[in-house]
Structure 1
Amino acid sequence: MLPRAYDSQHCSIAATLEIVGDRWTLLILREASRGVTRFADFQHTLGLARTVLSDRLGRLTEHGVLERHRYQERPERFEYLLTSKGAELWPVLNALMTWGDKHIMADLPPVVVRHNDCGGSIDSHRICRTCHSPVELHDVYREPGPGALPVPGRG
């Protein structure tokens, strides 16, 4: 069994896994890349325990992947914004999503990532399939894909 920490390994992948290598952290990053910033919204969309969310947000903030900003004084409340360092993880998230779309979701993606400029879908290399432009996180929007679950209350 692998140890929980990778201290004995002099490896960039292992060092990165120390920060982002569990499913909740990756899902927090997915939500942050979609524009979620507030603790309650992360908790609502992900359904995880407050203690786990607080721990993961703290770790991501400590490592400069997210920045914590107060948006309300009484009661004191904070939001968590992706830094440029955090936004650089979007290619990893996009690659995981496109791999899952192909190999797990049987090419019926629940979400389609589209290019802001032309509406084309984005491939695993972050290239627009329509205009062939390279795209970054700020260049895209998301919409329900053919594998999206129906929204309750909508026929």
Structure 2
Amino acid sequence: MNSEQPTLLEAGAPNAIGKTLGLLGDEWTLLLVQQAILGLTRYGQFKAALPISNAVLTSRLGILTKEGLLERNIYRTNPLRAEYLLTPRSRSLWPVLLAIWDWERQWVAAHTTPLPRMMHTECSQEFAPVLSCGACTRPTAARDIDAVWGPSGSWKRSVPTASTRRRWESDQARGQAGMFPETMAILGNRWSLALIGAAFRGVTRFADFERTLSAPPALIADRIKAFMAIEVLEATRNAVRPDWAEYRLTEKGRAFFPVIATALHWGQTWFLATEGPALIETHRFCSTVFVPELRCDRCTKLLHRRAILVSPSATES
């Protein structure tokens, strides 16, 4: 695979959104890319940095290499030793990781591993990333975006084909890697982000979630229960029909939009369907195709990977 060029997807197969969710809907994938961005390259280094088994580490490194997110390089033949290097595809994931870090930092109290601090070297300040439009630079929220399905877009094609490996409840109980506990409640199940996406598109009623996603009622109920438990959805009553329960995004749920925006942009950059894009987003204020950017909340400058300094967490310093 040429990791410097987008992957062409087969006609009728899961689209760029489905492909993205299949890759990023796994906490170990995100954590391994994060550690690679921080400078780790060797099997032993990843094993020492993360609470991961040999079998899972070997499996994930194989997947990341196959999908072009890491490049396996043999640096010694006797004995055989390999290192895993970043590619353009994995380097460009840093906005997603930064958006996850910011959301978890602001909205999730419990982490088994304290989150690091981030400093913007261009202004020498600790900062928060601000989602902005690449065309007009204006700060952007979900309500500022008009989104329609593109030629390869549909709910069916946007769901990954692989079944989820872990239920959210057991994941929380075990803790596992723990760096992104509630992010994985949204990304780590093959239907979860589809349901959150539907909520961002204005779906609120149980029957409408079921019909829109063509998903079994038990699955919809499970996801809604999980999202209410972490307070990204809340149950309300319809103003006209009080007997109708509605499930709406909370402030915490709406704040997850930068993660969704940066992840979808990454996916549609690196995975191209022959029919065309899966989702077309337009920024209402400048009427251009929305390209997400992250800017520093202190100096408003565009953030770049090399201008972000990762520091130990406040509890560790």
Answer yes or no: same fold by TM over 0.5.
yes
Question: Which sections of structure 2, spanning at least 5 residues, go unmatched?
Answer: 1-11, 131-293
User: Once superposed, which parts of structure 1, at least 4 consecutive aligned residues long, lie more than 6 Å away?
Assistant: none
Is 2:237 the counterpart of 1:69?
no
Task: Give the CA RMSD over aligned residues.
Answer: 2.2
Is 2:284 the counterpart of 1:116?
no
Higher relative contact order (CA 8 A, sep 6+): 2
Q: Which residue of 2 aligns with 1:134?
A: 302
Question: Which sections of structure 1, spanning at least 5 residues, go unmatched?
Answer: 1-7, 151-155
CA contact (8 A) 1:33 1:137 kept: no
Q: Which residue of 2 aligns with 1:105?
A: 109
Identity of aligned residues (%): 34
TM alignment of 1:1-20, pairs within 5 A: 10-20=14-24
From the superposition, tell whether residues 13 and 144 of structure 1 become closer, same or farther in structure 2 (CA, over 3 Å): same
Q: Is the partner of 1:26 in helix, strand or coil?
A: helix
Q: Distance in 2 between matches of 1:105 and 1:37?
A: 31
Q: Distance in 2 between matches of 1:12 and 1:124?
A: 25
Q: Is the partner of 1:132 in helix, strand or coil?
A: coil
Q: Is the partner of 1:127 in helix, strand or coil?
A: strand
Q: Distance in 2 between matches of 1:101 and 1:116?
A: 20
The TM-score, its normalising length taken from structure 1, stands at 0.78
The TM-score, its normalising length taken from structure 2, stands at 0.41
Higher strand share: 2
CA contact (8 A) 2:129 2:296 kept: no
CA contact (8 A) 1:68 1:79 kept: yes
Is 2:200 the counterpart of 1:32?
no
How many aligned positions are there? Answer: 140
Paired residue type of 2:33: L
Q: Distance in 2 between matches of 1:11 and 1:122?
A: 34
Q: Distance in 1 between matches of 2:80 and 2:128?
A: 41
CA contact (8 A) 2:73 2:83 kept: yes
Paired residue type of 1:127: R
How much does 1:9 deviate? 7.1
Instruction: Write the deviation string for residues 114-142 of structure 1: whole angstroms up to 9, x where unpaired.
Output: 12333223423332333322122222111
Q: Is the partner of 1:37 in helix, strand or coil?
A: coil
From the superposition, tell whether residues 69 and 41 of structure 1 become closer, same or farther in structure 2 (CA, over 3 Å): same
1:23 to 2, 18, 27: 27
CA contact (8 A) 1:120 1:128 kept: no
